[in-house]
């Protein structure tokens, strides 16, 4: 934990700098003052090539795009901690896509979901790297 | 909102008409009498090429397929509104795949999930297009 | 139901034997004494080629990998049944990836989620195959 997933439409592939987005996302989570252990942060992006947005560009002059992020975290953070992490992540997303949003139709969204420790099984030796450091 | 995701197995790619499925899905949501703002509808499909269904075609004479849809919506619709949207979506899915289901093993499913407004961050300029219209 | 999804990083593609993982997963669920009808089991894997783990391999000498499994099941199983299924699945995952985990940084995780019957629509003719058998 946490797991972060960015879904994005393939019309953002050329200009969206998804590798940069992923690095900024991890940096934003690491910057939350230890709320999220570094070794547990896993961000990934899924590029969609099959999608239909709104009216499906019915009249041919629109070219909609979206980025939807889902942050799944383990149980136990305070509301303030969760809110701060999401505010920072979403501010980063808006800044990252600001130039694109100024030029085209773009929907950005972020959701957070939490599960209880009881519902999760884990084995992660990446943590050892950061405990040693 | 809403976000609709269709997962499907790649043995449906040739005959499944996924672009048509996505268009029908958006049309079905738009037809819910304004329950879902047009500019917020985002449907996508994920084609799976690595999967195992039931007994994994153990004896070699079956070729299972599935389509699983997940509809995620914002908080605030009534039970009747949510149920009507899902009934219409699933009726569309059954009709869309009726010819295939008559000829092969096919599992269709639809789930709905809802999150509170408090758990979502949004910035969407697609709405402006539909407010202007 | 149930739906099982394995997400994995593409640096596991060569050695991860994902087809074998999927077959073992279905076998583990089938072995739960009828808790999960055979015809409803749908497992799939998603290979991620865009991801960032922990510090993003900042110093260049790490090569992180992860496998994250999500088991979604219908309503009605007991806590003991759910726990046994997850324990068996995760034990299988640890065994499957044991050689890899001994050699590299690898995070394995499994979560379980459940939804009510009221939130699901289904049509599945795969069940007929197993009722006939």
Nearest-CB residue to A18 (from C50, C54, C101): C50
Cα-trace Rg, chain C: 17
In which band, very low, low, confident or very high, does the pLDDT at C57 lie, cut at 50, 70 and 90? confident
- The verdict on a CB contact (< 8 Å) between C54 and A126 is yes
- The verdict on a CB contact (< 8 Å) between B109 and C121 is yes
SS3 C75: coil
In which band, very low, low, confident or very high, does the pLDDT at A5 lie, cut at 50, 70 and 90? very high
Q: Are A19 and A84 in contact (CB under 8 A)?
A: no
Residues of A in contact with B44 (CB under 8 A): 7, 9, 48, 50-52
Q: Is the pLDDT of residue B116 over 90?
A: no
Average pLDDT, stretch B97-120? 91
Distances (CA, A) of C110 to B78, C5, C29, C90, C107: 33, 10, 14, 7, 10
Average pLDDT, stretch B36-40? 95
Q: Are A110 and A90 in contact (CB under 8 A)?
A: yes
Of B85-89, B94-98, C76-80, the one with minimum mean pLDDT is C76-80
Q: Are A115 and C114 in contact (CB under 8 A)?
A: no
Of B19 and A60, the one with more pLDDT: B19
Q: Is the pLDDT of residue A49 over 80?
A: yes
Interface check for B22 against chain C (CB to CB < 8 A): the answer is: no
Calculate what percentage of chain B has a pLDDT beyond 70: 95
What do you get for the CA distance between the two ends of chain A, in Å? 20
Of A116 and C90, the one with more pLDDT: C90
Interface check for A72 against chain B (CB to CB < 8 A): the answer is: no
User: What is the SS3 assignment for chain A?
Assistant: CCEEEEEEEHHHCCCCCHHHHHHHHHHHHHCCCCCCCHHHCEEEEEEECCEEECCCCCCCCCCCEEEEEEEEEECCCCHHHHHHHHHHHHHHHHHHCHHHHCCCCEEEEEEEEEECHHHEEEEECHHHHHHHC
Rounded Cα gap, residues B45 and B21, in angstroms = 9
Which of B6, B7, B12, B51 should be substituted to probe chain C, the one whose Cβ sees the most C Cβ atoms within 10 Å? B51
Calculate what percentage of chain A has a pLDDT beyond 70: 95
Which of C5, C44, C46, C51 should be substituted to probe chain A, the one whose Cβ sees the most A Cβ atoms within 10 Å? C51
What residues pair up with C65 in beta bridges, in sequence order?
Answer: C106
Residues of C in contact with B52 (CB under 8 A): 19, 22-23, 25-26, 41, 43-44
Average pLDDT, stretch A108-121? 88
Interface check for A22 against chain B (CB to CB < 8 A): the answer is: no
What residues pair up with A85 in beta bridges, in sequence order?
Answer: none
The first and second tokens of residue C100, run together, are: 């890899």
Interface check for B49 against chain A (CB to CB < 8 A): the answer is: no
What pLDDT sits at residue A8? 98
Clarify whether C19 is annotated catalytic.
Answer: no
Q: How many CA atoms lie within 13 A of C123 on its CB side?
A: 18
SS3 C11: helix
Of C72-76, C78-82, C117-121, the one with minimum mean pLDDT is C117-121
In which band, very low, low, confident or very high, does the pLDDT at C12 lie, cut at 50, 70 and 90? very high
What number is the ipTM of this complex? 0.94
* Average of per-residue pLDDT values in chain B: 93
What pLDDT sits at residue A58? 56
Closest-CA distance, B101 to chain A, in angstroms, reads: 22
* Average of per-residue pLDDT values in chain A: 93
Rounded Cα gap, residues B73 and B117, in angstroms = 10
The first and second tokens of residue C47, run together, are: 């290979």
Nearest-CB residue to C22 (from B9, B50, B66): B50
User: What is the SS3 assignment for chain B?
Assistant: CCEEEEEEEHHHCCCCCHHHHHHHHHHHHHCCCCCCCHHHCEEEEEEECCEEECCCCCCCCCCCEEEEEEEEEECCCCHHHHHHHHHHHHHHHHHHCHHHHCCCCEEEEEEEEEECHHHEEEEECHHHHHHHC
Rounded Cα gap, residues C18 and A21, in angstroms = 28
Q: Is the pLDDT of residue B60 over 90?
A: no
Interface check for A124 against chain C (CB to CB < 8 A): the answer is: yes
Interface check for B7 against chain C (CB to CB < 8 A): the answer is: yes
CA nearest A57: which of B37, B132, B26?
B26
Query: Model-level pTM?
Result: 0.95
Interface check for B56 against chain C (CB to CB < 8 A): the answer is: yes
How do beta strands A3-9 and A65-74 pair?
antiparallel
Average pLDDT, stretch A79-105? 97
In which band, very low, low, confident or very high, does the pLDDT at B119 lie, cut at 50, 70 and 90? confident
Chain B residue with Cα closest to C24 = B52
What pLDDT sits at residue A57? 74
């Amino acid at each position: 934990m946490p797991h972060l997933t960015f879904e994005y439409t393939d019309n953002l592939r050329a200009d969206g700098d998804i590798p940069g987005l992923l690095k900024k996302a991890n940096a934003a989570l690491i910057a939350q003052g230890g709320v999220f252990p570094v070794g547990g942060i896993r961000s990934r992006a899924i590029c969609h090539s099959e999608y239909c947005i709104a009216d499906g560009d019915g009249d041919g002059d629109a070219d909609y795009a979206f980025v939807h992020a889902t942050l799944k975290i383990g149980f136990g953070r305070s509301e303030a901690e969760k809110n701060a992490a999401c505010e920072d992540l979403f501010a980063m997303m808006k800044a990252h896509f600001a130039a694109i949003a100024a030029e085209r139709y773009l929907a950005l969204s972020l959701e957070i979901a939490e599960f209880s420790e009881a519902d999760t099984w884990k084995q992660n030796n990446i943590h050892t790297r950061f405990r040693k450091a």
